[in-house]
Amino acid sequence: MYYRQLGKIPHKRHTMFKKEDGTLYREQVMGTRGFSGTQSILYHQYMPTEIVKSELVGNYFPEYEEKQSLKHRHFFSSKVEKKGDGLKAREYILGNQDLLIGTANVTEPMQTFYRNGDGDEMLFIHHGSGRLETMFGTITYRPGDYLIIPIGTIYRIIPSENEKTKLLFVESFSQITTPRRYRNEYGQLLEHSPFCERDIRGPESLETFDQKGEFEILTKSRGAIHSHVLGHHPLDVVGWDGYLYPWAFNIEDFEPITGRVHQPPPVHQTFEGNNFVVCSFVPRLYDYHPESIPAPYYHSNVNSDEILYYVEGNFMSRKGIQVGSITLHPSGIPHGPHPGKTEASIGKKETLELAVMIDTFHPLKVVKSAMDLEDSGYMYSWFEKKE
């Protein structure tokens, strides 16, 4: 990321920054990898350590299938009935030691605050609009937005009134960044990158709450949820600067890379974390070689599991897929277009599909409760029955 500043800050870091009454604002250095990664410095009305109550709420890790056979899987996230705020509505579907993946039907604003102390989060907004209120300021969101929220960020999701927000989420146990091959040695996005800094939106406004009282923050850390009650409003920051902050990128701003013949999935890469990548499949022109086959070729994920979340459009290579479907194609066996889809793609000039892909480099496990969402016949949907 690149440098941003919002609100008021002193001329020099680690120096006195006084309020009008002569007392000090409280400086907080928030960074990754000790003091050698990306960081920002925030200035609070009150001490961010002012805890009046702390207790363990309980484990948050989902329960996985005990034995998982090697097969292609298909889940209908539209069948998820759970609703609520941006934390309680989360339905875990897949996961491993590097990340947790699921969807949420957000129908109400968060009354408490939340932070993930285990890693970054990515929220992809499928439907709905609203506000992401954070200690760094507010980001308004709309359909197609990826919201990247750094580890330790206090935030809450406020959906627009009378409007549900449907989102795909990734809870990472590492930092989520732009792909390294898109950046030069100084961190700037290169000319061949499918997006640039102009497409990235940081917090738009900083509202400071100078308010005493008891305010709960639910914190995920060390595999559990913890309740911390502050003696003041958590969003008491008057200013900050640095390279670590929440930001938004809309999938509509991803510029697809195309070629004369079918391009491999890495051209769609948008983000990366430890042992996983996120890709954006957007409307694009097809290959322009006179004998090209636009449909993807059959391929084996030699050392990665692939999931696709289908957002909208015509899913050219698949049958039986719905908006909100999630498919899992594990490593170890090949996958590719359904019968007839390769031939049907020949001569087509463009696709209007919109989907998010996540490839993981450790096997994904299926959450037990997700079995209720599953299309049990998906593994056999490539078998062509003879009349």
Q: Per-residue confidence at 387, pLDDT binned at 50, 70, 90? A: low
Domain 254-377 CATH assignment equals 2.60.120.10? yes
Q: What is residue 318's predicted lDDT score, i.e. its pLDDT?
A: 77
Query: What are the boundaries of each domain within the chain?
Result: 254-377
User: Average pLDDT, stretch 62-76?
Assistant: 94
For the chain, give the mean pLDDT: 95
User: Cα 161 to chain center, whole Å?
Assistant: 23
Closest CA to 348 of 314, 310, 319, 297: 314
Q: What is residue 220's predicted lDDT score, i.e. its pLDDT?
A: 97
User: Average pLDDT, stretch 161-189?
Assistant: 95
* pTM score of the predicted model: 0.95
β-pair type (212-221, 113-116): parallel
pLDDT, tens digit, 9 for 90 and up, residues 284-343: 999 999 999 988 899 987 789 999 999 998 776 677 899 999 999 999 999 999 999 999
Cα separation, 153 vs 149, whole angstroms: 7
Strands (E), 282-345: 284-285, 299-300, 305-312, 325-329, 334-335
Beta bridge partners of 95: 100, 365
Cα separation, 338 vs 87, whole angstroms: 36
Backbone angles phi, psi at 306, to 5 degrees: -120, 130
pLDDT, tens digit, 9 for 90 and up, residues 319-330: 789 999 999 999
pLDDT, tens digit, 9 for 90 and up, residues 341-357: 999 999 989 989 999 99
